Amino acid sequence: MNKTLILVVEDDRSVQNLMVTTLKAHDYRYLIANNGETAILETSSHNPDIVLLDLGLPDVDGIEVIRKIRTWSNVPIIVISARSEDTDKVEALDAGADDYLTKPFSVEELLARLRVTERRLASMQADQVSSSVFINGSLKIDYSAGCVYLDGEELHLTPIEYKLLCLLSKNVGKVLTHTFITQNIWGHSWENDVASLRVFMATLRKKLEKNDDAVQYIQTHVGIGYRMMKVE
Ligand code: CA
């Protein structure tokens, strides 16, 4: 029995039905909110494990809902928006959302996003036990020693590559926007920072994903940012 409680925030009945049917079929528990005000209320009163949030709501802007929830809660938020609204996705991620789904989406996509988020929750709980060492598949980061190992062999990273890898690993499972990453690495986010980021990310991936073609640690989200995946 899956005990994860999902809050579904969606005013479109057909999309809402699709989500609820999917959640029921996979033994998730769920709550429904038809607008932003109810979403905020339900989050504070029922403390869901994950929030699925449509950005286009009839009362409050979805971005506002994220900002409100983030004032007191770190609950993972997956935003749902139309394909044309890439800037909204970036804004939502920068406001504190964890991931996004693009309409129209398939049941498989929805379930995959939920699994990624559940793994992220599980690894966050595990991290509280030992926070100085990060392990993901054959990747190991010893934060206190500043060393990175892949398959037991030390990886030689430049200081920026190491900073990037730490930032991604500390947010494993979460999509990080270009702005968020460049501000964390360089303290600002200028046009050419995003271009440099692309270069550093390419060299980091070359070092990280050289051995095993099947394992992909870092996902690229075109026009949005990057995410480190939790590897089984
Ligand atoms: Ca809507």
What is the CA(3)–ligand 1 centre distance, in A?
A: 27
pLDDT of residue 121: 84
What is the CA(12)–ligand 1 centre distance, in A?
A: 5
Q: Which CATH number fits domain 131-228: 1.10.3720.10, 1.10.10.10, 1.10.1330.10, 3.40.50.300?
A: 1.10.10.10
Give yes or no for a cis peptide into 58 (omega within 30° of 0): no
Query: In this structure, are residues 205 and 218 in contact, taking their beta carbons and an 8 Å threshold?
Result: yes
What is the CA(55)–ligand 1 centre distance, in A?
A: 7
Residues 140 and 203: their CA atoms lie apart, in Å, by: 18
Question: 34, 99, 31, 37: which is closest to 68 by C-alpha?
Answer: 37
On the question of a common fold for 5-128 and 131-228, the answer reads no
Domain ranges of the chain: 5-128, 131-228
What is the CA(110)–ligand 1 centre distance, in A?
A: 17
pLDDT of residue 120: 84
- Catalogue the E-assigned strands of the chain: 5-9, 29-33, 50-54, 77-82, 99-103, 133-136, 139-142, 147-150, 153-155, 176-177, 218-221, 225-228
Q: What is the pLDDT along the chain (232 residues), one digit of tens a residue?
A: 458 999 999 999 999 999 999 999 999 999 999 999 999 999 999 999 999 999 999 999 999 999 999 999 999 999 998 877 778 899 999 999 999 999 999 999 999 999 999 988 887 766 655 678 999 999 999 999 999 999 999 999 999 999 999 999 999 999 999 999 999 998 887 878 888 999 999 999 999 987 656 678 999 999 899 999 988 7
What is the CA(62)–ligand 1 centre distance, in A?
A: 9
Phi-psi region of 27 (alpha: psi -120 to 50; beta: other; left: phi over 0): left
What is the CA(105)–ligand 1 centre distance, in A?
A: 14
**Which strands, in side-by-side order, build the sheet including 218-221?**
176-177, 225-228, 218-221
pLDDT of residue 216: 86
**Token duo for residue 43:** 């989050």
Residues 203 and 50: their CA atoms lie apart, in Å, by: 34
pLDDT of residue 2: 59
**5-128 has which fold?**
Rossmann fold (3.40.50)
